[in-house]
Structure formats: structure tokens, C-alpha cells
Amino acid sequence: MSLNKRTYQQCSHCVMDTSDIKISFDANGVCDHCTDFKDNVLPNWRTDASGRAEFQQQVEKIKEDGKGRSFDCIMGMSGGLDSSYLLHLAVKEFGLRPLVFHVDGGWNTDIAVNNIQVIIEKLGLDLYTEVINWNEMRDFQLAFFKSGVPHLDIPQDHAFVATLYHFANRHGIKYILNGGNISTECVRNPKDWLYYGTDMAQLKDIHEQFGTIKLETYPFSSVLFHKIYLRYIKGVQVIKPLNYLPYTKAQAADTLQAEYGWRPYPQKHFESRFTRFYEGYWLPSRFGYDTRRVQYSSLILTGQMTREDALERLKKPAYDPATIEEDFEYIATKLRISVAELRKYHEMPLKTYKDYKNREWMFDLGARVLKAIGVERAVKR
Amino acid sequence: MIAIVDYGSGNVSAIADIFKRLKLPHTITRDHAELKVADRFVLPGVGAFDTTMRTLKESGLIGVLSDEVQGRGKKIMGVCVGMQILGDSSDEGVLPGLGWIPGHIRRIDPSTINGLPKLPHMGWNSVNIKSDSPLFEGVDPERGFYFLHSYYFDANDSESVLATVDYGNKLPCVVGSGNVFGFQFHPEKSHSNGMAVFRNFSLL
């Protein structure tokens, strides 16, 4: 099954291909992700002394504003590589005092829990945990399964983002440190694969059509709340420190392992048991969308992986065929449905975000504006 | 009036939020006079056993709490480390606990659990209710509670174990003796079940 009518083509420089429906190629077979990186991202990406100095300036401001408060900034911690390394840098190298915030959506792997624990303990910090109502999360995730769309991870993602923003707002915290980064994420997942997680029109429509219970405590945050109200009315700033400093996957993982006994994951985003199943199995097998293409292409563009190595790795599936039955069982049991029902959703007709209400135009416009004013360099499309 | 004892430990506002949602009269306080007029207490606690005991001691509240709970029989519920310090002692530290429920706090033995690594025990877990205490009225044991801990309460008297959780072994997760109760899990993070527990405690 496929939504794609194009003749197969793969970029000659990275490993993105026509599974990304809107991909375009130049005369040399180089894709638009690569040209966009070269033209727009690379010239504005400084991780040398000047980048560090720019970040150091922000650090001084954060510290100044945080004087007399228990915390000077807030950051979300998933236990994954980006947030773990960000926490290490913020505290150890820059002496910031972040409130470390973990949102438990119910799918933490044991490695994630271990990683959060070892770093928090060694740095002598407290962890603030916010727990999403599991019954609501479960029902919302099931609604997405029933809708047939690819972006099943929205209920988790949205809850993480919304909870953090609401917490920052409630406690008057002005700086949010974010682990988002060019180094490992410069190629973005195409909109057709993972649609915007804060499009409330889409979330509401899918919940209204397929949800079975009211979402009474599930945290919502519309893009207008966190991108406009928080940023421009309340003056809350989101800072991405990893973009100002040398940050590579291998070096970061080594540092964290050596200093904290942190444990690496087999793949990005695999700190959540749900995401592991979803990105490792569901997306590639149901839609032909392999998020490793996006991740590996980012690493190729930033010089951390060769194209040959990426192609070699892509020959193997992202999931372990020996344990996939077990995973089906685990996911179905946790969602309180039968394995047969879960399989039924896997085989149902493919849907896209366009099959449900959405405000795509508003997000596209916002993305273009952010790109034009230089806030975002690598833009989702 | 329920007094959430504000002796310098975290978590107080999360607990207050629940009472607010339940529309139950409550206060966050370290004021002796206020503690004396309260009819029941919630004792929060996060972090290490010794640190928590030390903070409680330095707050100067142990005397008044003892009078009210031990002397006048007012009800108290400890949450997480606030539960653990109700015991006599802990693997985690050297300071004595309050000793209001006889027992020792033990580190969960990771070798009893399949796979690695498994500490802390973090996340939702169903529970086994062992008593007909009204504390569990309206609680769905299958849905369970939210846990975040590496130590558990090994009560001397098995009668004081009101509920257990399966994590490797069956570990006590709710203990109670007379007017003193302790919850290892976080009712304030456990949504409907947690709200039921707080509501039930307010009616005991």
C-alpha cells in the first residue's frame, strides 16, 4: 500500500528519497533538503568561539534575571541524548540552575528512567515529574490509531510540549532551554509523515471523531498560546543551546556514558516504548516512512555519518523481527485492546492529515515567516 | 481543615492542587497554631531519607506533630519519602525515622526484577489491596498508581500492610497503623485513583 505515485529516486548526497512525496531534485540529483541546508542553515550555524560567546551572553542574562529565584530556567528531560547532554552542559559548563521537568506519558523505557535518574542524582538536582492521565492518553492514542493517519505520536508529543509551557507560564519562568538542534535534526520529518503536533483543529477533529472519553486533564497548548502569547506577551524565550556549541552524537554519548553511566539507545526517540514501536515498525511498514532516513541524512549533512554507512544500515529494518510479536502484544495490552484490533488498524486504508480538519495554511505561513526573519533555518515542509 | 505540612520539602503545591480540585478545605503551613487547629495532616517528602529527616527536624515541627498525632490521635498520611520517614530506619541513611509505624525502609533488590536496569521504579503500576479500609473506596486497583522510588517500607507487623505492588517481589505500598498512614506511590500524580485516596483520607 502506498500513497505515492512517483517514480523512485534517492538523493545522491543524503539518503532521503521519494517516500518523502514533496522531495525535489536538482540536475545533479541532489534533494531540496540538502540544498536548503547548504544555502540557509550552514551559513548561519556557528559552533565556534563566536557561537559560544553569543550563547555565553544569553547565559549571563539568564543568570542575572534568575537572581534570588530557586531556578533560572526550565528544561524538559526525556532521558534521550539531546536533553541529557543539554542538561549536562547547562549545569556543568555554564552553571545554570534549571528546573528539570519530566513529563511521563506512560511509555518510558527502563533505559530512559535510568538515564534520567543517574544524571539527576550525580548533578544533585531535583526532578519535577508531571504525569499525564493514563486513561485519557490511552484513549487519545487509540483515537489516532483509529483515524488511520501516520502521525500517531501526537498525543505524546503534544502533551510534553503543552505541559512544559503551562508549567513555565504558571511559575513565571522566562527561559526555556530546548534540546532541539541542527547537528542531529537539520533534516526535518516531512509534514506528510509527522504533521504539526500543535494544530488544535486536527487534534480536536480526531478526538471528536474517534475518542470515547472526555479529555478533562490532558494538557492542550495551541500554537497561539505558546508561540504568540507566551513569547510576545509574557516574554518567555525558548533557547536552543546545542546550536551554539559543538555537538555531535558520538561525543555527547561518550561524555554522558563516562561521566554518569548514561546508557545509549539503539535509535533516536527510542526512549519511549511507544515511539520505538511506532517509528521503528508502524511508520515504515504501514506507510513506507522510515524516520531513520531523516536522522541519517541529518548526520550525513553535518559530517557525522557517511552515505555508504547510512545505506548499509537502512538495509536492515529498524525493528527487531524476532521481538515484533512481543511488541504488538505489549502495545495492545497497554492500550487495552486485542492484538487483532491493533493489527486491524495497521491494515486499514491509509489516511493523511488532509483527511481531517486542519489549519495547515496557518502553520505554513508561520513557518515561512520564521524562516524569513531567521528564527528557524531548517523548515518543515 | 487538612494541613499539608510545609517543613521545606517539595511537592506541597501538587498536593494542594488536588485538594483544591476536590474543593476540600486545606492549608499549606508550618505555623504551630495552624497545625494545632488542623484535624488531619499530609506529610510530603521527596529526595533522600536523611535529608528529609534533617529538614523536618530543622523545621522544628516534630514536637507539635508528635503532640497532635501521637498525643491527640489526629490522622496523618505520609507520601513517598514522607511515608518512609514514618518508619524506624532506612537502608538509605543513618538517621532514625519518626518510628510511628514500626518498620525498616529497604532498598528494592534489583536482582528480583527481570531485565536491566530497573531502579528507580518509575511509572504506573497496579496494586493489590489487602484491607477493607475505606481509604480504598472508589479506587480501581487495576488502573493503579504512579510510583517513583527505589526504597520500600518493610513493616514489622504484616497487619499494617494495607496494599502491595508487584515489583520483583510484592512490596508494601500502603501502610497504616491506628491513625498513621503512609503511601509509597504519589496519589497527587495518580489522577482519579489518587483523588479518591485524598478524598477518602479526608473522610476517615
Name residue A56's beta-bridge partners.
none
Query: Do B191 and A113 count as a contact with CB atoms less than 8 A apart?
Result: no
pLDDT at A4: 65
Name chain B contacts of A113, Cβ cutoff 8 Å. 120, 122-123
Tally helices (H) and strands (E) across chain A: 16, 5
Is B173 a catalytic site residue?
Answer: no
Q: Which of residues 48-107 of B touch A (CB under 8 A)?
A: none
pLDDT recorded at residue A3: 60
Q: Which of B80, B92, B149, B173 is catalytic?
A: B80
Check if A135 contacts B (Cβ < 8 Å): yes
Identify all chain A residues contacting B122, using CB atoms and an 8 Å cutoff: 104, 108, 113, 117
Is there a domain that residue A36 lies in?
Answer: no
Interface check for A267 against chain B (CB to CB < 8 A): the answer is no
Among the ranges given (A57-61, A271-275, A303-307), the one the predictor scored with the smallest mean pLDDT: A271-275
Q: Do A130 and B189 touch (CB under 8 A)?
A: yes
CA A377 – CA A370 distance, rounded (Å): 8
CA distance B85 to B100: 9
The residues, any chain, with a CB within 8 Å of residue B148's CB and separated by 6 or more, are: A129, B80, B120, B121, B122, B186
Helices (H), chain A: 32-36, 49-65, 81-88, 110-123, 134-147, 154-170, 182-185, 200-210, 223, 249-260, 273-277, 291-301, 307-314, 324-334, 339-347, 360-372
Backbone angles phi, psi at A99, to 5 degrees: -85, 120
Q: Does A263 touch chain B (CB under 8 A)?
A: yes
The predicted pLDDT at position A227 comes to: 85
B39: distance to nearest CA of chain A, Å?
A: 29
> Which among A117, A130, A263 has CB closest to B120?
A117
Domain that holds residue A60: 46-372
- What gap in Å lies between CA B181 and CA B183, rounded to an integer? 7
Determine what percent of chain A is predicted with pLDDT higher than 90: 80
| Residue B65 pLDDT | 97
Active-site annotation holds for B68: no
| Residue A250: burial class (beta carbons within 10 Å; 0-12, 13-18, 19+) | exposed
Residue A16 lies in a domain: no
Least confident of A107-111, B89-93, B181-185: A107-111
Tell me whether A148 touches chain B (CB under 8 Å).
no
**Residue B192 parent element (H or E):** helix B191-203
* Residue A252 belongs to some domain of the structure: yes
Instruction: Specify the pLDDT at position B119.
Output: 78
Q: Which of A106, A114, A130 sits opposite B124 (nearest CB)?
A: A106
Q: Among this protein's residues, is B186 annotated catalytic?
A: yes
ipTM: 0.76
A129/B189 CB distance under 8 A: yes
Which of these, B138, B150, B149, lies nearest to B191 by C-alpha position?
B138
Contact A131 B10 (CB under 8 A): no
Write down the pLDDT at residue B112: 84
- Chain A CB contacts of B13 under 8 Å are none
Higher pLDDT: A1 or B178? It is B178
Q: Please, which residues have CB within 8 angstroms of residue B28's CB and are 6 or more apart in sequence?
A: B3, B4, B6, B12, B13, B16
Q: Highest mean pLDDT range out of A103-107, B83-87, B119-123?
A: B83-87
CB pair distance less than 8 Å for B47 and A106: no
Interface of A with B in 158-197 (CB under 8 A): none
A37 assigned to some structural domain: no
What CATH number is given to the structural domain containing A176? 3.40.50.620
How many Å lie between the alpha carbon of B146 and the closest alpha carbon of chain A?
Answer: 8
Contacting residues of B for A106, CB less than 8 Å apart:
123-124
Please give the Cα distance from A150 to A346 (Å, whole number).
10
Predicted pLDDT of residue A96: 97
A313-328: buried (b, 16+ CB within 10 Å) or exposed (e) per residue? ebeeebbeeeeeeebb
Q: How does B31-49 read in b/e, with b if 16+ C-beta sit within 10 Å?
A: eeeebeebebbbbbbbebb
Q: What is the mean pLDDT of residues A277-297?
A: 96
What confidence tens digit (pLDDT) does each residue in A157-203 have? 999 999 999 999 988 999 999 999 999 999 999 999 999 999 999 99
Could you give the number of structural domains in chain A? 1
B190 touches chain A (CB under 8 A): yes
Residues of chain B in contact with residue A104, where contact means CB-CB under 8 angstroms, are: 122-123, 146
The answer to whether residue A1 scores a pLDDT higher than 80 is no
Residue tagged active-site, from B26, B92, B173, B188: B188
Query: Nearest-CA neighbor of A355 among A239, A201, A237?
Result: A201
Q: Which residue of B has its CA nearest to A128?
A: B11
Q: Residue A158 falls within a domain, yes or no?
A: yes
**pLDDT exceeds 60 at position A289:** yes
Does A316 reside within a domain? yes
- For residues A105 and A272, the answer to whether their CB atoms sit within 8 Å is yes
Task: State the count of interchain CB pairs (< 8 A) between A and B.
Answer: 41
Assess if residue A35 is contained within a domain.
no
A52 touches chain B (CB under 8 A): no
- Per residue in A101-111, pLDDT (tens digit) is 999 998 988 88
Asked whether residue A352 is assigned to any structural domain, the reply reads yes
Mean pLDDT of A337-361: 97
Query: Global pTM?
Result: 0.87
Res B111: pLDDT: 84
Looking at the structure, give the CATH architecture of the domain made up of residues B2-203.
3-Layer(aba) Sandwich (3.40)
**Chain B 119-178, CB below 8 Å of chain A: which residues?**
119-120, 122-124, 143, 146, 148
User: Tens digit of pLDDT for each residue in B29-76?
Assistant: 999 999 999 999 999 998 899 999 999 999 999 999 999 999 999 999
Residue A131 to residue B46, Cβ atoms within 8 A: no
Inter-chain residue contact B146 with A131, CB threshold 8 Å: yes
